[in-house]
Amino acid sequence: MGGQQVLEWLVSFPERIHSAIAIATAAKHSPQQIAFNEVGRQAIMADPNWKNGQCYDGEPPAKGLSVARMIGHITYMSDTSMSRKFGRREGSSGGGRPHGNGFEVEDYLHHKGLTFVDRFDANSYLYITRAIDEYDAGGGAGLAEALRGLEARVLVLSFKSDWLYPSHQSQEIVRGCKKAGVDVTYCEIGSTYGHDAFLLEVGEQTKLVSHFLERTDERKDIGP
């Protein structure tokens, strides 16, 4: 949602934005992205403890929310990063879960799911993912039309192995900016971390962002 918020500020408040950086995002969700979120929502609603959202007086829908988080977390990583992190190593559970094989990656997903339940609300997950799925920066008219007249400088970053928000979606944002006459720069970072790269590729992003902001400040000092 962070990247969508950046785009929404550009569209709704162009006069207040001097520069913007959109990282690993999309102007609108693809059917595949919507599908992953829908499976997560269904997992929550299938939990008997969800009770049509009225779940605050009893046990929370922990199992459903945990599964939703597990699904999401799979999409954040890449096949390469999973292979490097886990391989086919045996985990600490030793296959103790029903129908589990005891792989380390299984332990990891269960851990991520359970810890997420302790800090996130199931109904919030439902509403936030719906909002992300419904968002369209172009508002039906197309992104180029929505950005027309924008004077801010824009940097768009993507990651080569990100299959949740693939580079072609970032390139669509760039095309929309160019058609609208916006000063836009695009960089694709050759990371193997998948979508998680926006959290992990700190060094490369720091260089790109710092250079972009320095150039933006220089243009601000020069004036129109």
CATH of the domain at 110: 1.10.1740.110
DSSP string, 6-46: HHHHHHH-GGG-SEEEEES--SB--HHHHHHHHHHHHHHHH
Higher-scoring residue by pLDDT: 141, 5 = 5
Kindly state the average pLDDT of the residues 119-144: 96
Q: Are residues 190 and 103 in the same domain?
A: no
Tokens of 75: 């999409």
Structural contact between residues 158 and 165, judged by C-beta atoms closer than 8 angstroms: yes
Q: Are residues 11 and 90 in the same domain?
A: no
Q: Are residues 49 and 81 in the same domain?
A: yes
Tokens of 19: 């520069």
Q: How does pLDDT run across 57-111, given as a tens digit for each residue?
A: 999 999 999 999 999 999 999 999 999 999 999 888 766 677 778 899 999 999 9
Tokens of 182: 């916006």
Q: Are residues 124 and 53 in the same domain?
A: yes
Domain boundary among 132, 167, 188: 132
**Of residues 203, 126, 129, 170, the one with CA closest to residue 21:** 170
Q: Are residues 97 and 174 in the same domain?
A: no
Within 13 Å of residue 23, how many CA atoms lie on the same side as its CB?
Answer: 17
Domain that includes residue 99, residue range: 33-132
Structural contact between residues 106 and 91, judged by C-beta atoms closer than 8 angstroms: yes
Q: Are residues 40 and 123 in the same domain?
A: yes
Structural contact between residues 132 and 3, judged by C-beta atoms closer than 8 angstroms: no
Helix (H, G, I), strand (E, B) or coil at 65: helix
Give me the number of domains the chain comprises. 2
Q: Are residues 114 and 44 in the same domain?
A: yes
Q: Are residues 114 and 40 in the same domain?
A: yes
Looking up residue 17, the CATH number of its domain turns out to be 3.40.50.1820
pTM recorded for the entire structure: 0.91
Tokens of 59: 């046990």
Domain boundary among 82, 97, 132: 132
For residue 17, the tally of other CB atoms under 10 A from its CB is 17
Q: How does pLDDT run across 160-210, given as a tens digit for each residue?
A: 999 999 999 999 999 999 999 999 999 999 999 999 999 999 999 999 999
Q: Are residues 65 and 81 in the same domain?
A: yes
Q: Are residues 184 and 115 in the same domain?
A: no
Q: How does pLDDT run across 26-60, given as a tens digit for each residue?
A: 999 999 999 999 999 999 999 999 999 999 999 99
